[in-house]
Amino acid sequence: MLFVSLGSTSGLRAADEQLCIALRRAGASVEMVGVPAPAQVRTMMLTDLAWARSARAAVKRGLAAHAAHPPRSIIYSSTTAALLWPVPGAIRFDAPAAGNRPGRHGLWQRPLERARLRAAPLLLPWSEGGLREASPRAEQAARALVLPVAVEPSGPSAPAPARDVAAITYAANPSKKGLDRVLAAWRALRERWPPARGEELLVAGVEERELERAGLGGRRGEGVRALGLMERERYRALLRRARVFVCAPRREDYGIAQLEALADGCMLVTTPAPGPYAALAIARGLDARLVGDDLAGALRCALEDPLPGYAQRALAALAPYAAQTIERLVGEQLLPRLLGERAQLGR
């Protein structure tokens, strides 16, 4: 089978590689077709068009290379990868692009995305919330298999790391991630503390100069440090040292960063957000005080009055995301459905 990987972010690339490995372990022959990044353009509509055209060309090359033995199935990773598909296939997605393309930003994408979701032989949403956003109709839900991204601790459980970092956040898209709200809450909290306390908020995924351009740059004494883009191993190592992962997204398509933070022992402080936010219900169940619009108050609770046993209960709540669970789902349910739902490659 062909796996069409848009790979526009490191998180998507990691999720795609993870699923390909699980399919191969289940006995499938899988070739990942990477989609070359197109040249940058100015609008969201043109960006989606450029990526969709690049994906179409990549699929055509993949099919031509295997013309003698055509693949039995194709998986398109993201609805954007499937927008201009040359042949139908299964679509894997965290959330429909329509949720991120309001108004004029998604004028041509939204109707075409709906058509592709109707035509796909199999839908593979990351979460139940993603499925509800994409396919409210019962007949489309019957063609779906919820397939989460596996999330596990990134390091050994013992010895426990020293939690010497107060808080960390991930803000590769500062506006969408609500970094302005996170920084405001952090500054409000620091006003309560003596100057010698020296706690820091680490901001991963964004450079200091980007914060300054957005009017979010730190000022001396505020305990905010931008780390820029980081290698995955270094970032997860910081999660293992942090007491709190804090975020205030304006929309959350899935929340892989939050799930990884929980897996690595952080308490999750977050505001509610629209979208299929998979970690939100887990966070509420672990400590409802840490979820709400009063972000500064939730941060104070986490840092000054943490509930005992939070990390252990978080690992138990993440059991459905364990790699073994996902691999079993791939072998027992996904692969049989992919082989039974042959894409009509000749049409």
Domain CATH for 144: 3.40.50.2000
**Is residue 181 located within the same domain as residue 261?**
yes
**Is residue 229 located within the same domain as residue 138?**
no
Asked if residue 230 belongs to a domain, the reply is yes
**Is residue 327 located within the same domain as residue 313?**
no
> CB–CB of 223/199 below 8 Å?
yes
Residue 249: CB partners within 8 Å, gap ≥ 6? 176, 177, 178, 255, 270, 271, 273, 275, 277
What ranges in the chain are assigned the alpha helix state H? Answer: 10-25, 44-65, 79-82, 109-119, 128-134, 138-141, 174-177, 179-190, 208-213, 232-241, 256-263, 278-286, 295-304, 310-317, 323-329, 335-340
Residue range 182-216, pLDDT digits in tens: 999 999 998 888 766 779 999 999 988 877 776 66
**Is residue 315 located within the same domain as residue 327?**
no
User: How confident is the chain (347 residues) per 10-residue block, as mean pLDDT?
Assistant: 88 91 96 93 91 97 93 95 96 89 86 93 94 74 90 79 92 91 93 81 90 66 86 94 97 95 98 96 98 97 96 97 96 93 45
**Is residue 238 located within the same domain as residue 256?**
yes
Asked if residue 155 belongs to a domain, the reply is no
Asked if residue 347 belongs to a domain, the reply is no
Residue range 54-103, pLDDT digits in tens: 999 999 999 999 999 999 999 999 999 999 999 999 999 999 988 888 88
Q: What is the pTM for the complete model shown?
A: 0.90
**Is residue 182 located within the same domain as residue 93?**
no
**Is residue 62 located within the same domain as residue 132?**
yes
Note down the domain range covering 123: 2-150+322-340
Number of domains in the chain: 2
